[in-house]
């Protein structure tokens, strides 16, 4: 999400419709929510309530729900119009994935990438619940998160840390658990950014070319989990896909999301990512954010311009009704049991920290009490500390230096250990490099209530345990760092790298990281410290991989910990692991390569001939992160410093007894979905008649700027120029007649048969060490054939074990887990290639393996 008014202004110059000419898939018409109404009971109740509500609305009231009131027009970062006649206030939408942005008395949670590193469904869920409770406590209706786009195609990607992992299975599990947690607290979650927004450079113009199979098996996968978890909203991204902007892309929105995945909620634009009136409406967008930014006279692509388009017949009424039904269905889904008027009040303003301020800051009108400083932190600090500690990945621990047992003295070295000198919130949206790093920068941030730095946590631990503590903050004064390190029994050196959103540039990095090395001389600092102290511990706060081959092989670097972006309890979480209160159990949610080139994917730094339309081809297909490093023949296997899923413990585990049980009652082949939808329903009066009916009521006092749903004139249509008309679209775009059901569809997340369990796999795991610990067993499936990776993650668990204890871990493989996407049949299928399962402690340390028996009714083609 971008929040710069300057950029919003530049989006007002679009040129009518921009539909891709050669889409091989029927992306029109935009599926109406009712088309799968009976097959998804989880939405049925919400849908019925939404229909009842929308049936009572006028055209302008419906349009009000679909269009933001404009940047800073109301108190939240996104605000829709309301239905004052029925006592329904507009919706409040707020960033972001680590906490409620732009307010106070909130918490800052560990970033998504840390949550991925926990490999813990339980912690994912608990964090979602806590986030949901904080948004709810401020009166927010829609939380703009969690993130599965970017997925993490390139490690330099500026916003990768907001999401969970470049592995779609892990990201999908984290999406689903987070969404269930958020929505259980009465807040609509928003799966973003949909889709293929994999870098910050040129994000508003880049045109991504991707094949259908890679789309399904990699980038769409976690969004399918989000839809299956019942996510209420999805945010379309800034980029283009195959020539068409994501927010008017009939392939990604209509065909994939709403039709194949059966998404019943609403699609909102990223801020300023809408470029047309008709293209977006017919292409499946349901809510325009922040609402302004279109051409005059409406200064919005929707609002009054959408009302005109419906009255002109260019957007069918059923499409508008569907937008409104989808928005209200998401709302009622998370407010089960309560009615719309009993919604909490918004009790903060994103735009001021004063008690009294404007309700409408963009027009400086309606002075009122806007901030009630409601404390929503509850007991979340304990959970934040727990996730912080359990997401730390112990990469190296030579001679079992860790956990520390009361060393006589420690030296804490590096700026990344320190309290930010001007406070943790000194720079807007964390847009500077100062002190310890515990989140990235950009819109995916929140204000810290406090930030426990590693230096302060280590100092207080030292004071209470009679450990001599010295500390130095400069990364450039190597002589001082060395002399401090030389004197200490243990030297703990900190280094970081920053990443964030591209509207902020730090040290020449415009969101995306320019390189994969440590910032601020970090590599030299580690080298200098290690040159004088063989008990050097390195702590890394980075958004993803950095190049650490040198420290991995440096014998004086005894330990390396990756702590990610842990949020407000950073230092406490670290102390818990360093001193063994928490036995490390985090696992790397990405691969650590030897060089940047080893990743096999490239960020697009420079455009080709046409700077307005840089084309980016995802030619590596599904071979991203470990799927690429594991490829035989490309030489990268050896160039993995630490593999995906890797992480050490203070104890040791032993794997045994792999058992694969095939379900005898579930055949391998399953029936594709078939049949027809109902026709597109409309609700309420069919609109038409005098235009005066659609202008503001007499005596209504407009404020300006503010986006309204009314027509500007009762004399005629004025939106005019550049808006296009429906004849520029295929006839199907406005066709509300019955439509065929796609083979892979049928319910939220796709055909329910995809989620049937075909195999149950068990293994026993024993703690063979002296201390209690948690193992994260991982299951990889080899789908077979050269066009599949060596293995893909398809299961994981967290197994807590006392010393000497043995437990059985159980993995369930669904049909989807063992399928590939068949582009010809447009469906998932289990190929006849022999398949194998591997169980291990990371993608490279496989302890057990077995051939998967062919499913009932199928045989493998061997060889
Ligand atoms: C997108 O482009 C890719 C590569 O050119 C092509 O394989 C694919 O079929 C296209 N998809 C759509 C929906 O046009
Ligand atoms: C649209 O919403 C705005 C803001 O809530 C409100 O002032 C206006 O009256 C609404 N219009 C209609 C038609 O309800
Ligand atoms: C919703 O709740 C309010 C307050 O409890 C009540 O006055 C109102 O009638 C209810 N509305 C509906 C539609 O049930
Ligand atoms: C703020 O909103 C929350 C959520 O409805 C509510 O519980 C709380 O009472 C409100 N606080 C104030 C001071 O309005
Ligand atoms: C309120 O905002 C102003 C201006 O951004 C800032 O200088 C001030 O420190 C803030 N006050 C508090 C209590 O956060
Ligand atoms: C609103 O007031 C602020 C200062 O209080 C000023 O900077 C801004 O320009 C004003 N905006 C409008 C639309 O008057
Ligand atoms: C660490 O040293 C820096 C100066 O190098 C100082 O500002 C900071 O307060 C010290 N931190 C602690 C916890 O002693
Ligand atoms: C603290 O440590 C010092 C030196 O390591 C030792 O001389 C002293 O007795 C210790 N004090 C306590 C209270 O343990
Ligand atoms: C290191 O120890 C030596 C000898 O005890 C002492 O002279 C020196 O000041 C110490 N240096 C630092 C930076 O503490
Ligand atoms: C990589 O970028 C960081 C941040 O801008 C910078 O500190 C570092 O020097 C760069 N590394 C190289 C090798 O250029
Ligand atoms: C619900 O879907 C069924 C087909 O699954 C269709 O026949 C029916 O018309 C739909 N209901 C509505 C209200 O559209």
Rounded distance from Cα 495 to ligand 9 centre (Å): 24
Judge contact between 128 and 115, C-beta under 8 A: no
* pLDDT at residue number 26: 86
Protein residue with least CA distance to atom 10, ligand 11? 678
Average pLDDT, stretch 174-183? 98
* pLDDT at residue number 606: 86
Distance CA 226, CA 232 (A): 9
Rounded distance from Cα 363 to ligand 6 centre (Å): 7
Per DSSP bridges, beta strands 207-209 and 240-241 are parallel
Judge contact between 244 and 18, C-beta under 8 A: yes
* pLDDT at residue number 36: 53
Rounded distance from Cα 452 to ligand 7 centre (Å): 13
The CATH homologous superfamily to which domain 41-339+679-730 belongs is Glycoside hydrolase, family 3, N-terminal domain (3.20.20.300)
Q: What tokens appear for 575 in the block?
A: 């102390």
Q: Dump pLDDT digits (tens) for 586-625.
A: 999 999 999 999 999 999 998 877 767 799 999 999 999 9
Distance CA 415, CA 400 (A): 26
* pLDDT at residue number 5: 30
- Comparing CA positions, the residue from 668, 693, 655 lying closest to residue 811 is 655
Which residues belong to CATH 3.40.50.1700 in the chain?
385-585
Q: Dump pLDDT digits (tens) for 302-329.
A: 999 999 999 999 999 999 999 999 999 9
Cis peptide before 148 (omega within 30 of 0): no
Which residues belong to CATH 2.60.40.10 in the chain?
653-666+748-851
Q: Tell whether the model's pLDDT for residue 10 goes beyond 60.
A: no
Protein residue with least CA distance to atom 12, ligand 11? 34
Protein residue with least CA distance to atom 9, ligand 2? 84
Distance CA 858, CA 663 (A): 13
Cβ–ligand 9 contact at 487 (below 6 Å): yes
Residues 6+ apart with CB under 8 A from 189: 128, 132, 142, 143, 145, 146, 178, 179, 182, 183, 226, 231, 232, 233
Q: Tell whether the model's pLDDT for residue 779 goes beyond 90.
A: yes
Q: Dump pLDDT digits (tens) for 26-35.
A: 899 999 997 4
What CATH architecture does domain 653-666+748-851 belong to?
A: Sandwich (2.60)
Give the fold, CATH level 3, of 385-585. Answer: Rossmann fold (3.40.50)
* pLDDT at residue number 279: 96
Q: Does the model's pTM come out above 0.75?
A: yes
CA distances from 775 to 303, 404, 734, 767, 796 (A): 54, 21, 54, 9, 10
Q: Which residues are catalytic?
A: 270
Mutate to test the pocket of ligand 6, among 357, 364, 706 (most ligand atoms within 8 A of CB): 364
- Comparing CA positions, the residue from 327, 313, 253, 326 lying closest to residue 278 is 313
* pLDDT at residue number 9: 27
* pLDDT at residue number 382: 98
> In this predicted model, which residue has the larger pLDDT, 400 or 24?
400
Beta strands in 370-436 (DSSP E): 393-397, 409-413
Protein residue with least CA distance to atom 9, ligand 11? 678
Judge contact between 281 and 67, C-beta under 8 A: no
- Comparing CA positions, the residue from 229, 234, 313, 299 lying closest to residue 266 is 234
Distance CA 454, CA 477 (A): 20
CA distances from 224 to 185, 232, 249, 258, 834 (A): 22, 13, 17, 11, 26
Cis peptide before 705 (omega within 30 of 0): yes
Mutate to test the pocket of ligand 4, among 94, 135, 137 (most ligand atoms within 8 A of CB): 137
Distance CA 195, CA 288 (A): 17
> Which backbone phi and psi does 213 adopt, to 5 degrees?
-70, -45
Q: Tell whether the model's pLDDT for residue 340 goes beyond 70.
A: no
């Amino acid at each position: 999400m971008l929040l710069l008014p300057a950029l919003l202004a530049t989006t007002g110059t679009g040129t009518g419709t921009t539909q891709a000419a050669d889409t091989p898939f029927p992306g029109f018409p935009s599926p109406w929510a009712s088309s799968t109404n009976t097959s998804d009971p989880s939405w049925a109740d919400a849908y019925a309530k939404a229909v009842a509500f929308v049936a009572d609305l006028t055209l302008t009231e419906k349009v009000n729900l679909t269009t933001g009131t404009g940047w800073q027009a109301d108190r939240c970062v996104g605000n829709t119009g309301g239905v004052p006649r029925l006592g329904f206030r507009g919706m409040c939408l707020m960033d972001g994935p680590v906490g409620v942005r732009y307010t106070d008395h909130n918490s800052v949670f560990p970033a998504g990438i840390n949550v991925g590193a926990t490999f813990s469904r339980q912690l994912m869920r608990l964090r979602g619940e806590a986030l949901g409770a904080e948004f709810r406590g401020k009166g927010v209706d829609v939380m703009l998160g969690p993130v599965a786009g970017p997925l993490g195609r390139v490690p330099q990607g500026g916003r990768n840390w907001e999401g969970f992992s470049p592995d779609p299975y892990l990201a999908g599990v984290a999406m689903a658990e987070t969404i269930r947690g958020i929505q259980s607290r009465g807040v609509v979650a928003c799966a973003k950014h949909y889709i293929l927004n994999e870098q910050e450079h040129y994000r508003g113009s880049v045109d991504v070319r991707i094949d259908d199979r890679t789309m399904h098996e990699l980038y769409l996968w976690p969004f399918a989990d989000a839809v299956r978890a019942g996510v209420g909203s999805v945010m379309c991204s800034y980029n283009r896909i195959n020539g068409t902007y994501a927010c008017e892309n009939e392939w990604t929105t209509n065909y994939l999301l709403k039709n194949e995945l059966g998404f019943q909620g609403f699609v909102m634009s990223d801020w300023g990512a809408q470029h047309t009136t008709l293209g977006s409406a017919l292409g499946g967008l349901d809510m325009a954010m922040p609402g302004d930014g279109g051409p005059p006279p409406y200064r919005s692509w929707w609002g009054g311009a959408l009302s005109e388009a419906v009255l002109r017949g260019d957007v069918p009424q059923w499409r508008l009704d569907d937008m409104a039904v989808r928005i209200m269905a998401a709302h009622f889904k998370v407010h089960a049991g309560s009615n719309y008027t009993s919604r909490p009040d918004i009790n903060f303003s994103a735009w001021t920290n004063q008690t009294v301020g404007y309700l409408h800051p963009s027009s400086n009108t309606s002075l009122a009490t806007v901030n009630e400083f409601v404390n929503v932190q509850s007991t979340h600090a304990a959970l934040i500390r727990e996730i912080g500690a359990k997401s730390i990945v112990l990469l190296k621990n030579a001679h079992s230096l860790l956990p520390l047992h009361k060393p006589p003295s420690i030296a804490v070295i590096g700026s990344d250990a320190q309290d930010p000198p001007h406070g943790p919130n000194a720079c807007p949206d964390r847009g500077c490099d100062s002190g310890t790093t515990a989140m990235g920068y950009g819109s995916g941030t929140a204000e810290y209530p406090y930030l426990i730095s590693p230096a302060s946590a280590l100092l207080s631990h030292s004071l209470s345990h009679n450990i001599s503590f010295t500390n130095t903050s400069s990364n450039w004064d190597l002589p001082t760092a060395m002399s401090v390190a030389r004197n200490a029994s243990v030297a703990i050196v900190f280094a970081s790298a920053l990443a964030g959103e591209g509207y902020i540039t730090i040290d020449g990095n415009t969101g995306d990281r320019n390189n994969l090395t440590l910032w601020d001389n970090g590599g030299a600092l580690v080298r200098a410290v290690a040159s004088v102290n063989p008990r050097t511990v390195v702590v890394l706060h980075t958004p993803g991989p950095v190049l650490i081959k040198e420290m991995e092989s440096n014998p004086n670097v005894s330990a390396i910990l990756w702590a990610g972006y842990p949020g407000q309890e950073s230092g406490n979480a670290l102390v818990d692991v360093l001193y063994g209160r928490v036995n490390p159990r985090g696992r790397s949610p990405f691969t650590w390569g030897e060089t940047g080139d080893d990743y096999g994917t490239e960020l697009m730094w420079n455009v080709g001939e046409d700077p307005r339309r840089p084309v980016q081809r995802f030619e590596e297909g599904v071979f991203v992160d470990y799927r690429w490093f594991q490829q035989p023949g490309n030489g990268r296997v050896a160039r993995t410093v630490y593999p995906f899923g890797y992480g050490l413990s203070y104890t040791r585990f032993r794997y045994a007894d792999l058992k694969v049980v095939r379900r005898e009652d579930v055949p391998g082949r399953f029936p594709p979905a078939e049949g027809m939808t109902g026709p597109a329903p409309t609700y309420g009066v069919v609109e038409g008649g005098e235009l005066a009916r659609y202008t503001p009521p007499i005596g209504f006092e407009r404020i300006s700027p503010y986006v309204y749903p009314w027509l500007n004139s009762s004399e005629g249509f004025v939106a005019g120029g550049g808006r296009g008309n429906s004849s520029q679209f295929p006839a199907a775009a406005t066709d509300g007649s019955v439509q065929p059901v796609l083979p892979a569809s049928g319910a939220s997340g796709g055909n329910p048969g995809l989620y049937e369990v075909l195999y149950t796999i068990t293994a026993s795991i024993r703690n063979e060490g002296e201390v209690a610990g948690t193992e994260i067993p991982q299951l990889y499936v080899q789908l077979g054939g050269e066009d599949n990776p060596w293995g893909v993650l398809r299961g994981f668990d967290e197994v807590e074990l006392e010393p000497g204890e043995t437990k059985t871990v159980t993995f369930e493989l669904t049909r989807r887990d063992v399928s590939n996407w068949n582009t010809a049949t447009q469906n998932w299928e289990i190929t006849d290639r022999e398949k194998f399962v591997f169980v291990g402690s990371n993608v490279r340390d496989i302890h057990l393996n077995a051939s998967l028996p062919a499913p009932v009714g199928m045989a493998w083609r061997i060889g």
